[in-house]
């Protein structure tokens, strides 16, 4: 058996993602006069686990993979955060995503903290059996830090309900009984929540409709461009189209398509299932992912990966509203450019928090073995999204700051109160 070892530089990463999040945390801490002990705690992750583990491939060879599980802060409750499978993920990015989860759960005002997990791999080139073996081994490695009372994973880029099912089963085998609350985003048949799969995209849709309402726009006259046609982007596209919006551009990892007269989202979904991509769809013009970000539209939804809106392309963005469906899709430099150009950016910790809101419901259902129907779940999600958006909007207007700063203000106020109440042990 041949054994391939991981590239150490892949695991560490030299990105600035976590530094960027920390800078904005510190800027808002200055604005709020947050006590130094709270600021210090928010600037660091409470726990970081790095694991290296072998996975046997179908051809008999094996490879060593590197994975992470990072807990940023659990002051307000058990940590919550997805698991990402991607060839370019790093520890720095995982730290940043964990910190954003801390802020997101505080904005949503659900009793969770923030965490994130990742494995450096390319799930698109792995068989189903290989993915299962990787998932089960990774779960075994991080099982010392996860659990329904302390740290609850969920799907993210490159993972799905099936991956969550494998995690739940592996963890449960170690405990000797089923533990459905150890993960959220799992299949309904083994304790998942109705409405969870669509929750993040639905939350983005609610955010987009609230943003247009506050700007005096008519959604039925709005045009939409969406980068990313996975779970979040596809659901948002379908729901926004149902609200009367004209979706003019959509892309996936291979490229995108554009038609100023609008796309038939349902037919495009069927085409992607058939061909594996959206490119060359009938009566459309092919565009690159970067070109899509410059398409003239009223609502732009970056729902792919982080850093897509950056200093190099932000000035070419021609939209009125950006709804951050992805985590951390806009760099600080791009944020400033968009703000100067009068673009309303609804930040990730508000726009895409629908997933964690319904994850909270799924977690509660798993603990209590009492389940709600989809209409009840969607009603609760709509209520929380609307309340949170309204709170952030009011802070933005009263303090004359953009929506990202306003969301951080709301989150850090709640976190500061909780940390001061709990104090420092011993």
User: Would you state the structure tokens that stand for residue 351, as one six-digit string?
Assistant: 């726009």
CA 209 to CA 222: how far, in whole Å? 10
User: Could you please report the per-residue DSSP string of 121-172?
Assistant: --GGGS-HHHHHHHHHHHHHHHTTT-BTTTEEEEE-TT--HHHHHHHHHHHH
CA 193 to CA 188: how far, in whole Å? 6
- β-strand pairing of 47-56 with 62-73: antiparallel
3-state secondary structure (DSSP) of residue 113: strand
The structure tokens 């089963």 sit at: 169
How far lies 164's CA from each of 131, 179, 209, 283, in Å? 12, 12, 31, 38
- β-strand pairing of 113-120 with 321-323: unpaired
If 0-12 CB within 10 Å is exposed, 13-18 middle and 19+ buried, where does residue 419 land? buried
Active-site entry in 116, 186, 194, 272: 116
Q: Which residues contact 375 (CB under 8 A, 6 or more apart)?
A: none
Q: Is 116 tagged catalytic?
A: yes
The residues that are catalytic are: 116
């Amino acid at each position: 058996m041949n054994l391939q070892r991981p590239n150490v530089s892949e695991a560490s990463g030299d990105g600035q993602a976590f530094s960027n999040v920390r800078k904005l945390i510190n800027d808002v801490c200055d604005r709020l006069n947050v006590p130094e002990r709270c600021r210090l705690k928010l600037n660091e992750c409470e726990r970081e686990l790095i694991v290296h583990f072998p996975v046997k491939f179908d051809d008999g060879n094996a490879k060593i993979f590197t994975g992470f599980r990072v807990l940023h802060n659990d002051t307000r409750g058990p940590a919550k955060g997805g698991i990402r499978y991607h060839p370019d993920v790093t520890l720095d990015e995982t730290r940043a995503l964990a910190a954003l989860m801390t802020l997101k759960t505080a904005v949503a005002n659900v009793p969770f903290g923030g965490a994130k997990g990742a494995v450096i791999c390319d799930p698109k080139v792995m068989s189903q059996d290989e993915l299962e073996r990787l998932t089960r081994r990774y779960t075994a490695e991080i099982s010392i830090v996860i659990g329904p009372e302390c740290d609850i994973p969920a799907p993210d880029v490159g993972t799905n309900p099936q991956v969550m099912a494998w995690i739940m089963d592996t963890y449960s085998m170690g405990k000797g009984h089923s533990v459905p609350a150890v993960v959220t985003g799992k299949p309904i048949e083994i304790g998942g929540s109705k409405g969870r799969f669509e929750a993040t995209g639905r939350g983005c849709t609610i955010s987009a409709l609230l943003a247009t309402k506050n700007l005096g726009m008519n959604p039925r006259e709005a045009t939409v461009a969406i980068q990313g046609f996975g779970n979040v982007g596809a659901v948002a596209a379908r729901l926004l189209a149902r609200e009367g919006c004209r979706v003019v551009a959509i892309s996936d990892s291979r490229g995108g398509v554009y038609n100023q007269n609008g796309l038939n989202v349902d037919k495009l979904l069927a085409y992607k299932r058939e061909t594996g991509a959206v490119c060359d769809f009938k009566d459309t013009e092919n565009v690159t992912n970067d070109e899509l970000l410059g398409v003239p539209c009223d609502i732009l939804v970056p729902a792919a990966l982080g850093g897509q809106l950056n200093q190099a392309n932000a000035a070419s963005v021609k939209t009125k509203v950006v709804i951050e469906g992805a985590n951390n899709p806009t760099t600080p430099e791009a944020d400033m450019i968009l703000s100067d150009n009068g673009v309303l950016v609804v930040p990730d910790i508000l726009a895409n928090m629908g997933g964690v809101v319904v994850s909270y419901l799924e977690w509660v259902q798993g603990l209590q073995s009492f389940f709600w129907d989809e209409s009840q779940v969607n009603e609760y999600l709509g209520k929380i999204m609307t309340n949170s958006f309204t709170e952030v909007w009011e802070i933005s207007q009263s303090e004359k700051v953009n929506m990202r700063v306003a969301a951080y203000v709301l989150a850090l106020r709640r976190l500061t109160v909780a940390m001061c109440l709990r104090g420092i042990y011993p």
